[in-house]
């Protein structure tokens, strides 16, 4: 746990120092030939029964809040390695630069840095519980700062839940298990929960959703989590997350090398559910719903094949060019459901949608498409708070020609490339002119080699924090 307490004394302490201000950060002169303060450089000393871990911040004018989160995570990992269960963290050097704005990053860095997926070993991993005491703030503000720490810890808690859900293998997190898991998480957080089963989905003409979901023996469902935290405001935002617990590609079969990672194809649903749960647990004054189409994409006698024609919930017809472009099918009906049945005023769909976005921007940035520039501006401000990166993708009408069908209204895949843009424009056809954002997180939701100390191998939990800050406007003003 993380506390703000300037008076707490422990036998271990973490101190941060700038590379170009070692003396003013309190680094003893005798250490400067050894410890230069480069970012993430560590040096340990033991004197008067106190362990001191010095961690470098690099140059002051180059430090960002993401770097702060990363060094906080490094500090937490180091204390775990040193088996310290209680330690002070002198953050005065960081506070001098960023003030109150660094509290979220320090808290999340410490908590996320300790994240480990337990896995399925014969011998369980050793548990580690610790208390970290942030020091270096003004005493008069400690109670206010503790409230920010506690809210930050809730965001970190649900980022880690999203990681756990995505990291769980498909046979242990099939559609039925995942639906029950997020429904239980929603209830525990204080959300209203509804599950739309196949019978009700059929009555709603959700044929695109069912075309994918009924390829599996595990029943598909649409899970809805509602947090109506602001009765004085009628605006409702829907977070629609792709929840494909395992994607074989269907008859457009994936290769074995790519299929082994397709347990991660429900990262959009995991992040959307986690964000709504965090908003509910923190009692944020916002009206938000998560709409989660949860399916498997399997080969079976009931699976659709390329060339099939389907009619969506909104009446538009779709020709299936690729059964591996299934995510946009389930999302399309889910978006229509959010708009027509839940009366959502704004829609954000989040999905591990295309390999094309990974080829273009790697693991660094997720793609964003929109029909409303002001809504996109809100997203980028939220992403800045979260420390997550996005890139704007074009929506020129010429691209839309790529998904126009000759015998149907739409094609579910482009014949002319531009896969990420084509997929986003397909989904735009279902938001019915509501302000809409499409987040393609295929690259950023999974990490083969962590880019930051607060990441871990496997699921990142992104963009849970961005979705959270999109709705919690009063958390911190940066």
The DSSP string of 208-250 is HHHHHHTTSSSPPEEEEEEEE--TT----EEEEE-EEEEE--T
Give just the sign of the alpha carbon dihedral 157, 161, 162, 163. positive
Indicate the SS3 state at residue 197: coil
Please tell me what DSSP assigns to residue 30. G
Q: What is the gyration radius of the CA atoms in the chain, in angstroms?
A: 23
**Cα–Cα distance between 109 and 274 in angstroms, integer?**
18
Q: Which helix (H) or strand (E) holds 65?
A: helix 65-81
Active site residue 328: yes
Give the 3-state DSSP-derived string for 107-143, with helices as H, strands as E and coil as C: HHHHHHHCCCCCCCCCCCCCCCCCEEEEECCCHHHHH
Active site residue 30: no
Indicate the SS3 state at residue 368: strand
Q: Two tokens at 454?
A: 């607060």
Q: Two tokens at 440?
A: 């393609």
What are the CB-based long-range contacts (under 8 Å, 24+) for 380-384? 381/469, 382/466, 382/467, 382/468, 382/469, 382/470, 383/463, 383/466, 383/469, 384/478
**Cα–Cα distance between 286 and 153 in angstroms, integer?**
19
Catalytic residue among 163, 328, 365, 434: 328
Contact 347, 435 (CB under 8 A): yes
Outline where DSSP puts E strands in 423-465.
436-440, 446-447, 458-459
**Cα–Cα distance between 68 and 51 in angstroms, integer?**
22
Place of tokens 């409230």: 147
Please tell me what DSSP assigns to residue 49. T
Q: Which helix (H) or strand (E) holds 202?
A: helix 198-203
Catalytic residue among 8, 254, 316, 389: 254
Burial 116-136 (b: 16+ CB within 10 A, else e): ebeeeeeeeeeeeebebbbbb
**Cα–Cα distance between 463 and 407 in angstroms, integer?**
37
Positions marked active-site: 254, 328
């Amino acid at each position: 746990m993380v506390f703000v307490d300037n008076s707490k004394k422990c036998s271990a302490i973490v101190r941060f120092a700038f590379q170009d201000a070692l003396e003013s950060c309190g680094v003893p002169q005798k250490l400067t030939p050894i410890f230069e303060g480069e970012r993430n450089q560590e040096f340990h000393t033991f004197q008067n029964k106190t362990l001191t871990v010095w961690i470098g911040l690099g140059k002051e004018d180059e430090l960002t809040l993401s770097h702060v989160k990363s060094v906080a995570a490094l500090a937490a990992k180091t204390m775990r390695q040193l088996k310290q269960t209680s330690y002070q963290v002198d953050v005065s050097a960081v506070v001098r630069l960023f003030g109150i704005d660094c509290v979220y990053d320090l808290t999340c860095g410490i908590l996320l840095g300790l994240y480990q997926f337990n896995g399925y070993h014969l011998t369980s991993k050793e548990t580690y519980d610790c208390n970290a005491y942030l020091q270096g703030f003004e005493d008069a503000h400690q109670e206010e700062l503790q409230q920010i720490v506690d809210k930050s810890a809730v965001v970190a808690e649900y980022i880690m839940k999203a990681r756990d859900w995505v990291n769980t293998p498909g046979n242990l997190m099939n559609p039925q298990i995942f639906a029950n898991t997020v429904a239980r998480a929603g209830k525990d957080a204080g959300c209203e929960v509804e599950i739309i089963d196949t019978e009700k989905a059929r009555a709603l003409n959700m044929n695109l959703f069912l075309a994918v979901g009924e390829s599996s023996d595990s029943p598909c469902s649409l899970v809805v989590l509602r947090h109506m935290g602001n009765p004085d405001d009628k605006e409702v935002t829907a977070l629609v997350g792709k929840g494909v617990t395992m994607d074989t590609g269907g008859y457009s079969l994936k290769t074995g090398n790519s299929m082994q990672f397709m347990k991660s194809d429900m990262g959009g649903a995991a992040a959307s559910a986690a964000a709504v749960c965090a908003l509910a647990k923190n009692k944020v004054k916002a009206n938000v719903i998560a709409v989660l189409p949860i399916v498997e994409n399997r080969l079976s006698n009931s699976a659709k094949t390329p060339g099939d024609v389907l009619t969506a919930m909104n009446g538009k017809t779709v020709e299936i060019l690729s059964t591996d472009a299934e995510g946009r099918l389930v999302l399309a009906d889910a978006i229509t459901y959010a708009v027509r049945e839940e009366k959502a005023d704004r829609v954000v769909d989040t999905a591990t949608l295309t390999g094309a976005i990974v080829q273009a921007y790697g693991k660094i940035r997720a793609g964003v498409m929109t029909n409303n520039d002001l809504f996109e501006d809100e997203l980028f401000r939220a992403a800045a708070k979260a420390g997550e990166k996005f890139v704007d993708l074009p929506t020129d009408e010429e691209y839309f020609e790529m998904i126009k069908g000759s015998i149907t209204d739409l094609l579910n895949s482009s014949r002319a490339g531009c896969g990420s843009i084509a997929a986003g424009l397909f989904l735009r056809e279902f938001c019915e002119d509501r302000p809409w954002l499409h987040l393609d997180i295929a690259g950023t939701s999974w990490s083969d080699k962590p880019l930051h100390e607060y990441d871990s191998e496997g699921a990142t939990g992104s963009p849970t924090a961005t979705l959270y800050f999109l709705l919690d406007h009063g958390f911190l003003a940066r």
